[in-house]
A and B are shown apart, each in its own frame.
Chain A
Amino acid sequence: LAKTTQPISMDSYEGQEVNITCSHNNIATNDYITWYQQFPSQGPRFIIQGYKTKVTNEVASLFIPADRKSSTLSLPRVSLSDTAVYYCLVPTTNQGGKLIFGQGTELSVKP
Chain B
Amino acid sequence: GAGVSQSPSNKVTEKGKDVELRCDPISGHTALYWYRQRLGQGLEFLIYFQGNSAPDKSGLPSDRFSAERTGESVSTLTIQRTQQEDSAVYLCASSGRQGAGELFFGEGSRLTVL
B2: Cβ under 8 A from any A Cβ: no
Measured CB to CB, the nearest residue on chain B to A104 is B42
Q: Is the CB of A32 within 8 A of B101?
A: yes
Q: Mark A80-97, 1 if CB is under 8 A from B, else 0.
A: 000001010111110111
What size tier do the contact residues of chain B reach? Answer: 20 to 34
Given known A96-B50, A96-B56, contact A49–B101 (CB-CB < 8 A):
yes
Q: Is the CB of B105 within 8 A of A96?
A: no
A103: Cβ under 8 A from any B Cβ: yes
- Give the Cβ gap from A43 to chain B, nearest Cβ, in Å: 3
Assembled-state Cα–Cα distance A34/B102 (Å): 7
- Complex contacts, A100 vs chain B, CB 8 Å: 45
Q: Is the CB of A43 within 8 A of B107?
A: yes
A110: Cβ under 8 A from any B Cβ: no
- Give the Cβ gap from B43 to chain A, nearest Cβ, in Å: 4
Measured CB to CB, the nearest residue on chain A to B58 is A98
Chain A binding surface, main DSSP class: loop
Total interface residues in chain A, CB < 8 Å: 27
Q: Is the CB of A99 within 8 A of B104?
A: no
Q: Is the CB of B45 within 8 A of A99?
A: yes
- Give the Cβ gap from B58 to chain A, nearest Cβ, in Å: 7
B65: Cβ under 8 A from any A Cβ: no
- Complex contacts, B56 vs chain A, CB 8 Å: 95-98
- Complex contacts, A33 vs chain B, CB 8 Å: 101
A69: Cβ under 8 A from any B Cβ: no
Measured CB to CB, the nearest residue on chain B to A34 is B101
- Give the Cβ gap from B95 to chain A, nearest Cβ, in Å: 8
CB-based closest 8 A-B pairs: A97-B99, A43-B105, A34-B101, A101-B43, A97-B98, A91-B99, A103-B42, A91-B101
Measured CB to CB, the residues of B under 8 A from A are 4, 31, 33, 35, 42-43, 45, 48, 50, 56, 58-59, 91, 93, 98-108
Measured CB to CB, the residues of A under 8 A from B are 32-34, 36, 42-46, 49, 85, 87, 89-93, 95-104
A–B Cβ pairs within 8 angstroms, 10 of them: A34-B103, A43-B107, A49-B101, A91-B99, A96-B56, A97-B56, A97-B99, A100-B45, A101-B35, A104-B42
